[in-house]
A and B are shown apart, each in its own frame.
Chain A
Amino acid sequence: MSTASPITSPSPSRRPSTRPINPGDRLFRRVLMGLSGVVVAVLALIAIYLAKLSWPAIHEFGLGFFWTTDWDPVKEHFGAGAFIFGTLVSSFFALALAVPLSIAVGLFLTELAPPRAAAVVGFMVEMLAAIPSVVYGLWGIFFLAPLLRLYVQPFLGRHFGWLFLFQGPPYGIGMLAAGLILAIMVTPTITAICREVFRAVPNTQREAALGLGATKWEMIRLAVVKSSWSGVFGAGILGLGRALGETMAVTMLIGNRNEISTSLFSPGQTMASVIANEYAEAGSNIHVAALAYVGLALFVVSFAVNHLARRIVKRLEMGGTR
Chain B
Amino acid sequence: MRFVLPLILFALSGSASADVVSINGAGATFPYPLYSKWFSEYRKVDPGVEINYQSIGSGGGVRQLLEKTIDFGASDAPMKDEQLAKAATPIYHFPTVLGAVTLAFNLPGFTGELKLTPELVADLFLGKIYYWNDAKIAAVNPGVALPDVPVMIIHRSDGSGTTAVFTDYLSKVSPEWKTKVGSGTAVKWPIGIGGKGNEGVTGFLKNSPGAIGFVELLYAETNHLQVASLKNAAGNFVRPSVAAVTEAAAGALKDIPKDFRVSITNSSGKSAYPIASFTYLLLYKKSAPAKSAKLKAFLGWALGDGQKLAESLFYAPLPAELAARARAQIKEIE
Contacts and interface: CB of A to CB of B under 8 A. Distances in A.
Interface in B29-84: 56-60, 62, 80
A191 B43 CA distance: 52
A281 B204 contact: no
A126 to B, nearest CB: 25
A60 B207 CA distance: 41
B200 interface: yes
Secondary structure type dominating chain A contacts: loop
A280 B159 contact: yes
Nearest to B60: A280
Contact of B207 (A141, A256, A278): A141
A267 B194 contact: yes
A257 interface: yes
Contacts of A280: 56-57, 59-60, 158-159
Interface string B187-221: 11100111110001001100110000000000000
Interface in A296-319: none
A141 B182 contact: no
B54 to A, nearest CB: 11
A280 B161 CA distance: 11
A255 interface: yes
Q: Which of B58, B160, B207 has the most CB of A within 10 A?
A: B207
A188 interface: no
A64 B270 CA distance: 51
A251 B196 contact: yes
Contacts of A276: 158, 196
A173 B196 contact: no
A73 B59 CA distance: 13
A257 to B, nearest CB: 6
Interface string A240-265: 00000000000110011110000000
A74 interface: yes
B150 interface: yes
B207 A74 contact: no
B204 A73 contact: no
B183 interface: yes
Contacts of B189: 257
A251 B195 CA distance: 8
B127 interface: no
A172 interface: yes
B57 A281 contact: yes
B158 A258 contact: no
Contacts of B160: 281
Interface stretch (A95-103, A142-150, A217-225): A142-150
A42 to B, nearest CB: 23
Interface in B137-166: 150, 152, 157-161
Interface string A126-148: 00000000000010011001100
B196 A281 contact: no
A71 interface: yes
Interface residues of B, number: 33
A48 to B, nearest CB: 20
A131 B212 CA distance: 31
Nearest to B55: A280
Contacts of B56: 280
Contacts of B207: 141-142, 145-146, 149, 172
B186 A73 contact: yes
B185 interface: yes
B53 to A, nearest CB: 15
Contact of A74 (B161, B181, B193, B195): B181
B184 interface: yes
Contact of A72 (B188, B204, B208): B188
Given A255-B193, A278-B159, A75 B182 contact: yes
A74 B159 contact: no
Interface string A57-88: 00000000000001111110000000000000
Given A74-B183, A171-B208, A277 B150 contact: no
B76 to A, nearest CB: 9
Contacts of A72: 187-188
Contacts of A173: 193, 204, 208
Contact of A73 (B80, B188, B193): B188
Nearest to A171: B193
A282 interface: yes
Contacts of A73: 159, 184-188
Contacts of B182: 74-75
A256 B193 contact: yes
A174 to B, nearest CB: 8
B158 A277 contact: yes
Given A142-B203, A145-B207, A283-B59, A252 B196 contact: yes
Contacts of B196: 251-252, 256, 276-277
17 contacts: A72-B187, A73-B188, A141-B200, A172-B208, A252-B195, A256-B193, A256-B196, A257-B193, A267-B194, A269-B194, A273-B157, A277-B157, A281-B59, A281-B186, A282-B185, A282-B186, A283-B159
What 6 A-B pairs are tightest by C-beta distance, nearest first? A281-B159, A256-B194, A256-B157, A280-B57, A74-B182, A281-B59
Given A72-B187, A278-B159, A281-B58, 9 more contacts: A73-B185, A74-B181, A75-B188, A138-B203, A141-B203, A256-B157, A257-B193, A281-B186, A283-B59
